[in-house]
């Protein structure tokens, strides 16, 4: 049993999340319900802050990028998608990190449509060339 610092109730230890190593009990001070309530209130007060924290974590963990490297890539691309050149932050969205799925190497930043387009073509230059050829032969000018 443990007392929650948020609501003051004594609850079973299963009602608490694990904490960092500094906690003597090994559990968070607030129960899961209080922590969730506080998290929702914070997100309501700061709608962009929670997203920014998650984004930084994903950039680092998945792609090995810091926010500074992302910003440098964006600047090198003149603030636009590397393929279609539509500016970043259109419709309040950031550009996606495009990477080689085999090596994990970051190739650049793309808008959602270009990123999905490459994905649908399985990142295959041959398939993309075939699509260009098809469009060239079947598009009236």
pLDDT at 141: 61
Q: Are residues 41 and 78 in the same domain?
A: no
Are 31 and 11 spatial neighbours (Cβ–Cβ below 8 Å)?
yes
Write the pLDDT tens digit of every residue in 93-106.
689 999 998 898 99
Q: Are residues 70 and 39 in the same domain?
A: no
Q: Are residues 81 and 25 in the same domain?
A: no
Q: Name the DSSP class of 93.
A: -
Residue 52 lies in a domain: no
pLDDT at residue 21 greater than cutoff 90: no
Burial class (CB in 10 A: 0-12, 13-18, 19+), 73: middle
Count of domains forming the chain: 2
**Which residues does 34 contact at the CB level (< 8 Å), separation at least 6?**
4, 5, 6, 7
Residue 112: CATH number of its domain: 3.40.1800.10
Backbone phi, psi, residue 13, to 5°: -60, -25
Residue 26: give the domain boundaries.
2-45
Q: Full-prediction pTM beyond 0.85?
A: no
Q: Are residues 36 and 72 in the same domain?
A: no
Q: Are residues 84 and 134 in the same domain?
A: yes
Write the pLDDT tens digit of every residue in 49-74.
777 788 888 899 999 999 899 999 99
**Residue % of the chain over a pLDDT of 70:** 96
**Which residues does 99 contact at the CB level (< 8 Å), separation at least 6?**
63, 105, 106, 107
Q: Are residues 39 and 99 in the same domain?
A: no
């Amino acid at each position: 049993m443990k007392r929650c610092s948020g609501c003051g109730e004594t609850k079973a230890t299963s009602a608490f999340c694990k904490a960092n190593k500094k906690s003597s009990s090994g559990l968070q001070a607030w129960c899961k319900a209080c922590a969730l309530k506080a998290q929702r209130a914070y997100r309501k007060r700061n709608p962009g802050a929670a997203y920014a924290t998650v984004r930084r974590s994903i950039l680092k963990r998945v792609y090995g990028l810091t926010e500074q490297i992302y910003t440098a890539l964006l600047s090198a691309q003149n603030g636009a998608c590397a393929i279609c050149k539509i500016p970043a932050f259109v419709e309040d969205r950031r550009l996606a990190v495009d990477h080689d799925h085999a090596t994990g190497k970051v190739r650049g930043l793309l808008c959602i449509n270009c990123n999905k387009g490459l994905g649908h073509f399985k990142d295959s230059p041959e398939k993309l060339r075939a699509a260009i050829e098809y469009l060239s032969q079947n598009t009236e000018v």
